[in-house]
Amino acid sequence: MNNAVFRLERPHNEPVYRYDPDSEEVRQLQEEILRQSKACVDIPLIIGGREIRTGDTAEVRMPHDHGHRLAVYHKAGRAEVALAIESALAAKDAWMNLAWEERVSISLKAAELLGKKYRNLINAATILGQSKNIQQAEIDAACETIDYFRFNAYFASEIYRDQPMSSQLMLNRIEYRPLEGFVYAVTPFNFTAIASNLNMSPAIMGNVTVWKPSDTAILSNYYLMKLLQEAGVPDGVINFVPGDGPLVSGVVFAHREFAGLHFTGSNGTFNRLWRQIAENLDNYRSYPRVVGETGGKDFIFAHNSADLGALSTAIALGAFEYQGQKCSAASRAYIPASIWPQLEGELCARVAKILMGDAADAENLMGAVIDERAFDKIAGFLERAKVSPDVEVIAGGGSDKSKGYFVEPTILLCKNPHYETMETELFGPVMSVYIYDDDKFEETLALCNETSPYALTGSIFSNDRYAAMKACDALRYAAGNFYFNDKPTGAVVGQQPFGGSRASGTNDKAGGRFNLLRWVSPRTIKENLTPPTDVCYPHMF
Ligand code: NAD
């Protein structure tokens, strides 16, 4: 019997390992990278806790060495997707009726397992399979995932504690019911942590999920699934179903018990899924919750009072870490003409120092972009930019896919503030810069606000507080995560809840209680301690 009144303390963020050269940390990680490089893992579906091999397979290859196969994974057919839904629904009652303290205990255990036993395994899989450098894998696959496990447990406890007032005559309570049905989690390639969170945030609130991982993050995602199983997530609560997106979605959206979509990925995919849901609306038991975090065209806006060292570093790291494949990556900058000549020199000097190559080599800040489709798309933008009269390529511009999908860190100086790379999400290491007249600060803020359909992240660099406040006001709806004198990437769970609006998504703020609230359907229960026994009002007696 569990009769404890349980209260969790606010957790601390997981400390980031430094991986200094010659440290024991780096030695162990390199050993694991080598072990995984030599293996070829056979990755099954995991449905109702059972491994299923369909024989319909595809390969996982290293983006920075595409001749190197890391794994073969099995893809779901319609029958397996249907089975995953049935397994989820069969697991539902026991899971939602388990005391919430037991569910959060599993999440906290997952955090401990990842912090120790699984850290190198999942970091190495992220480095090899998604071409993240060691530091980027550590802050994502290890630290952010652990933070989600711990902070979601804490926020869940806060939500359950939040109860309406009662009185001497009545008792009121809110029962935070999970959604009626199952949740469909569709996850992106670029953050291992997001893949975990899109499943675990609904699950911690008592929901069950069907999980379609990204084709290009299958290796790390498979190990995450194994970790969750070892942490004690019961069979059927999360069902790992790699496969063709449209096929999986077709079966999921046709099901009456589909209760919610938890998505992160591109704006185009999200719109397609939302339309499909809308078309099936009459078939559902409830209005599904649709939560999606999508693309960005994230900006750095400089005032002429900005510190140039901080600004040039923010542009270089914000645009080029993880090859510009963070939804929050800086990809357009607005720079006043008076500071540009000096900034250009500093920026190009910083970019010249960036090394690119094998993601496992600690010297390299950049690895490869995720796959050939991404490479071809970005290279197409670069080829057009090179011949455009509106653009001057001031750094990089080259690309080579012979061994891996490598795109140089590139800076485009755009004369036209509406040139395609100022507006469109490229999802690659390309920064577009527009120079404005110093006396057009406010007009340029308006231009920045209106230029792109997205509104995810953005920064203002200014040492003039009035200018910073002007930017903060003018760009109120241009970013859901806004930074003063910092790059627009690197949000930390519990510190900067993450998400944007406009075409960037539903802004339900992963890593905060807002998100968890989307996965419950509260029931209010009133108990009258002294029910009336007469139809007359008091004054009628
Ligand atoms: P994507 O849209 O190509 O894929 C996302 C997921 O959707 C993958 O699992 C993919 O297989 C799946 N998918 C595609 N079509 C589908 C369909 N019809 N049915 C079901 N699933 C389908 O995105 P991506 O390339 O993996 O990720 C990059 C995008 O994600 C960028 O636009 C980036 O900005 C965005 N992103 C946003 C955030 C955020 O918090 N706002 C975070 C990370 C990534």
User: How far is it, in rounded angstroms, from Cα 379 to Cα 385?
Assistant: 10
C-alpha distances out from residue 506 to 295, 409, 513, 525, 534, Å: 11, 31, 15, 30, 49
Number of the ligand 1 atom closest to the C-alpha atom of 296: 34
Residue 454: closest CA among 265, 191, 267? 267
Number of the ligand 1 atom closest to the C-alpha atom of 370: 25
Q: Determine whether the shortest distance from the Cβ of 189 to ligand 1 is under 6 A.
A: yes
User: What single letter denotes the amino acid at residue 227?
Assistant: L
Question: Would you state the structure tokens that stand for residue 18, as one six-digit string?
Answer: 């430094």
Rg (alpha carbons) of the chain, rounded to whole number: 25
C-alpha distances out from residue 297 to 324, 328, 462, 467, Å: 11, 8, 21, 22
Which residues, in sequence order, are CB contacts of 29 under 8 Å at separation 6+? Answer: 19, 120, 123, 124, 134
Q: Determine whether the shortest distance from the Cβ of 296 to ligand 1 is under 6 A.
A: yes
Question: From the first residue on, what is the mean pLDDT of each consecutive set of 10 residues in the chain (541 residues)?
Answer: 84 97 96 98 98 98 98 98 98 97 97 98 98 98 98 97 97 98 98 98 98 98 98 98 98 98 98 98 98 98 98 98 98 98 97 97 97 98 98 98 98 98 98 98 98 98 98 98 98 97 97 96 97 89 74
Catalytic pick from 293, 344, 408, 425? 293
Mutate to test the pocket of ligand 1, among 269, 427, 430, 501 (most ligand atoms within 8 A of CB): 269
Question: Would you state the structure tokens that stand for residue 414, as one six-digit string?
Answer: 């755009």
**What pLDDT does 7 receive?**
85
CA of 300 to the centre of ligand 1 (A): 24
Q: Determine whether the shortest distance from the Cβ of 497 to ligand 1 is under 6 A.
A: no
Output the residue whose Cα is nearest ligand 1's atom 4.
265
CA of 266 to the centre of ligand 1 (A): 4
Q: Determine whether the shortest distance from the Cβ of 265 to ligand 1 is under 6 A.
A: yes
Active site residue 327: yes
User: What single letter denotes the amino acid at residue 369?
Assistant: V
Helix (H, G, I), strand (E, B) or coil at 73: strand
**What pLDDT does 498 receive?**
97
Q: Determine whether the shortest distance from the Cβ of 249 to ligand 1 is under 6 A.
A: yes
With b for 16 or more beta-carbon neighbours within 10 A and e for fewer, the 192-212 pattern comes to: bbbbbbbbbbbbbbbbbbbbb
**What pLDDT does 468 receive?**
98
CA of 15 to the centre of ligand 1 (A): 28
Q: Determine whether the shortest distance from the Cβ of 456 to ligand 1 is under 6 A.
A: yes
**What pLDDT does 5 receive?**
81
Answer whether 36's CB lies under 8 Å from 124's CB: yes
Q: Where are the alpha helices (DSSP H) in 294-368?
A: 308-320, 340-352
C-alpha distances out from residue 210 to 151, 184, 437, Å: 23, 5, 52
Answer whether 211's CB lies under 8 Å from 199's CB: yes
Output the residue whose Cα is nearest ligand 1's atom 18.
246
Active site residue 293: yes
**What pLDDT does 229 receive?**
98
User: How far is it, in rounded angstroms, from Cα 375 to Cα 407?
Assistant: 7
pTM over 0.95: yes
Q: Which residues pair with 455 in a beta bridge?
A: 501
